[in-house]
Structures are given as structure tokens and as C-alpha cells.
Amino acid sequence: EMSEMSERSKQNVAHGLAWSYYIGYLKIVLPRLKNSMEEFSRANPNMLACRETWKLHILVPLSCDVYDDLEKADSSIQYLKDLTETTLTRAGTKKRVYKHSLYAIRDEGNKLWHCAVEFATPLQSLHAMSQDECAAFSREERLEQAKLFYRTLEEILKGSKECAGTYRLIAYEESAEADTHFLSREILWHLRQQCHEEYAVCEGNHLHAPSTTFSPTELNLQISNSDLPQPLRSNCF
């Protein structure tokens, strides 16, 4: 009966997607990321000056709008090159390739910041489910599932020793106003914050948190801590 209630409320969807994303992807690639960044830094010593940014920056838009081409989403984001790929045999596929793309983010002063960044791909599934009649996902349910996905993934990664210090989750809700550089500003804020954490004193670099980036505490408040199925709500956003 509890299983049927959970199925009807779709509460198991985001939880399963988060675990699948971690087990089938992040747990494989994140422990190898530092070596790839180190290798790139040796060849390009001036591009990755702040070691705190040597992480995979995972974009988690609560709208589940995932762009396949970051350069088309924001002209201030430019593809640079791919980091060294990892090749493994997985689930019957010989030499399956895993790789990350490095991007240059141009700030307001025309300075370039470099980082590995990509969207959390399971959000594409949530978005597709909301467009499919068989899944019958409403926009409100999709939003709640996106928040639950973020919270679950964050808890999983916090408990993973292999992935410690190799990732940065960037959860955000897109601005209702047309802003062609919204995404680059979100990423830049996180890059600056990480460099600020590494260098405690940064003269003349006052950090402003973007209005749409949510802290873990804020997101946790939107979702019940109960283990029992709860009605899906999105009236907090």
C-alpha cells in the first residue's frame, strides 16, 4: 500500500534519478577529475590559477531547462577544450568514454574564468516526463521533483569520500526577465566564491550572491523530512 501511494505521488522519481546519476556517472568520473585538471594546468599554467575551482560544476536549474549548447545559451560562455577522457568497459559496452568540457566564462570586466561545467543530465528526463502524457507530470510536480533531486544528490555526494572536493552543485531558478547573461553570472558567482574561500583576503573583490541561487538550507525547507509520502507542492517558489 505504501509503495502504491509513493508511485501515485511520484516521490520515488527524483530519488531514483539522483542515485542513478551518482552510481552510474559521478562516482565514476569525479575521483578522476583532479588528475585531469592537474594535467591541463601543467600544460596551461595561467588558466587554472585558483585550485579551489578544480571541480566539476554541476548546473541544477529548477525549471529543468537543460541546454545542449552552453555557448548558445549564453554568449559569455565559450567552449575551450575537453579534458582527458576516461575509457571504461561498462554494462557490455567496450571502451565507453567519459569526458568533461572546459569552458571560458567572460565576466563584466572582460576577464576570462576557466572551469569544467555541465548540466545535471537527469533533469532532461524530468522535463521530458512533464511533456509526456504517459508520465502525466505537471509543472508543479516537476518543480518539486527538481528540488527533491537536488537535495537527494547533495546528501549522496556529502556522504561520498571518493567525490569529496571534486564537485560544486549550482542550483538556481531562472529569472523571469529576459537576461542573455544570466547563466554566466550564476557560474561566475560560484567561481569567485571558491577563490574567495581559498584566499581569505581578496582586496576590492566584494561578493554579491545572485538573487536566484538557493542555499541547501533554503531548498531543504521546501521538502518534507518525513519518510511518508506527502502531497507535491510548489507554492514556495
Q: Is the pTM of this model over 0.85?
A: no
What dihedral angle (degrees, nearest 10) is formed by the CA atoms of 58, 61, 62, 68?
-110
The amino acid at residue 106 is R
Question: Quick one: pLDDT at residue 57?
Answer: 98
Question: Quick one: pLDDT at residue 117?
Answer: 97
Mean pLDDT of residues grouped by 10 in the chain (237 residues)? 48 87 96 93 86 96 93 94 88 89 95 96 89 73 91 96 96 80 94 79 45 51 42 40
Which three cell numbers mark 169? 552543485
Question: Quick one: pLDDT at residue 45?
Answer: 83
Question: Quick one: pLDDT at residue 176?
Answer: 65
Compute the distance between CA of residue 3 and CA of residue 18 in angstroms, rounded to an integer.
19
Please state the CATH superfamily assignment of the domain spanning residues 7-196 in this structure.
Stimulator of interferon genes protein (3.40.50.12100)
Question: Quick one: pLDDT at residue 172?
Answer: 94
Compute the distance between CA of residue 21 and CA of residue 15 in angstroms, rounded to an integer.
10
CA atoms within 13 A on the CB side of 211: 6
The amino acid at residue 88 is L
Q: Is residue 61 within 8 Å of 119, Cβ to Cβ? A: yes
Compute the distance between CA of residue 192 and CA of residue 213 in angstroms, rounded to an integer.
14
* Nearest partner of 14 among 164, 159, 141, 117, judged by Cα: 141
Domain ranges for the chain: 7-196
